[in-house]
Amino acid sequence: MSDDMARKRIVYDSPGMREVTLQRDLVYGNSADGNPLLMDLYHPAAVKGRAALPVVVFVAGYPDPGFSKVFGCRFKEMGAYVSWSELIAASGMVAISYTNEQPVEDLSTLLRHLAEDAESLGIDAGRIGLWACSGNVPTALAELIDDPSAGAIACAALCYGYMLDLDADTAVKDAAKTFGFATAISDMTAADLNLSTPLLVVQAGKDQMPGINRTIDRFCVALLATDNAKLTRLNLPDAVHAFDLEQDSQASREAISEIVEFLKARLCG
């Protein structure tokens, strides 16, 4: 079962996905234990001129040591993230997936590295988007909420994800204990939620994960009650969890395309 999941690719394909170029295992920092942290960069096959390109970072909310024991590979080697990265690169952006040991801290390390080494990497540090799904979403939100006014993150796509435990709810905390993903924010109330980063929140109407849609509904209601919300919500009533891998349908492909177009509109415009 885990081997099958590790190999699964998204149910979307285009010739351009097979033409992207890959820089593998570039060091972006060191873990708290002193181990090198590595990233893979997927580039469009053909780039006109030397203009710096926007970036989409695929957020890892599961520590790789535990993740590898379950799936037999690191997060960045999953077929899902390889194929999503290829699609993003084929769409004219740089895609980045990476290793981690402490999800929240290592994502911050990665983003600092991208800002400091943007020129040598050929990227635009002012046009960085985050993509996160499922149990990876709390790590992405921790980065956004930690400093929501910082200019580094231009947008984020949050897909069928556990969001935040607001007003003493425990659905995210309970799921984290069961599935092993990181949660860095606790004891928040709806009034604490104040995000100005443009967000796309994708909800699968038939999601099987316990409590997940409740966390999405509560998050969106709380965010829309603030003055700074820039929220786009995509509801897919017939979609299941991980529909981009599990449901080979036109509806899934259209949703994948909408996610890519959201990122392109905010990063490439």
Tens digits of per-residue pLDDT, 46-86? Answer: 765 568 999 999 999 999 988 888 888 999 999 999 999 99
107-116, 191-200, 246-255: lowest mean pLDDT where?
A: 191-200
The label of the residue with tokens 């036109």 reads 250
What's the confidence (pLDDT) of residue 130? 98
At 189, the pLDDT band (50, 70, 90 cuts) reads: confident
CA separation for the pair 156, 101 (Å, rounded) = 22
pLDDT tens per residue across span 208-236: 999 999 999 999 999 999 988 899 999 99
What's the confidence (pLDDT) of residue 59? 98
What is the rounded end-to-end Cα distance, in angstroms, of the chain? 41
Task: Round the average pLDDT of the chain to a whole number and report it.
Answer: 92
What's the confidence (pLDDT) of residue 151? 58
Instruction: Check pLDDT > 50 for residue 194.
Output: yes
Q: What is the DSSP string of 11-78?
A: S---GGGGS-EEEEEEEEEE-TTSPEEEEEEEE-S---TTPPEEEEEE---S-HHHHHHHHSS-GGGS
pLDDT tens per residue across span 140-187: 999 998 765 455 799 999 999 999 999 889 999 999 999 999 997 777
CA separation for the pair 71, 258 (Å, rounded) = 29
pLDDT tens per residue across span 84-104: 999 999 999 999 999 999 999
The answer to whether the beta carbons of residues 216 and 141 sit under 8 Å apart is no
Instruction: Check pLDDT > 60 for residue 41.
Output: yes
Instruction: Check pLDDT > 80 for residue 126.
Output: yes
What's the confidence (pLDDT) of residue 69? 86
CATH number corresponding to 2-267: 3.40.50.1820
Tell me what percent of the residues of the chain surpass a pLDDT of 90: 79
What's the confidence (pLDDT) of residue 1? 41
Phi, psi at residue 239, to the nearest 5°? -85, 150
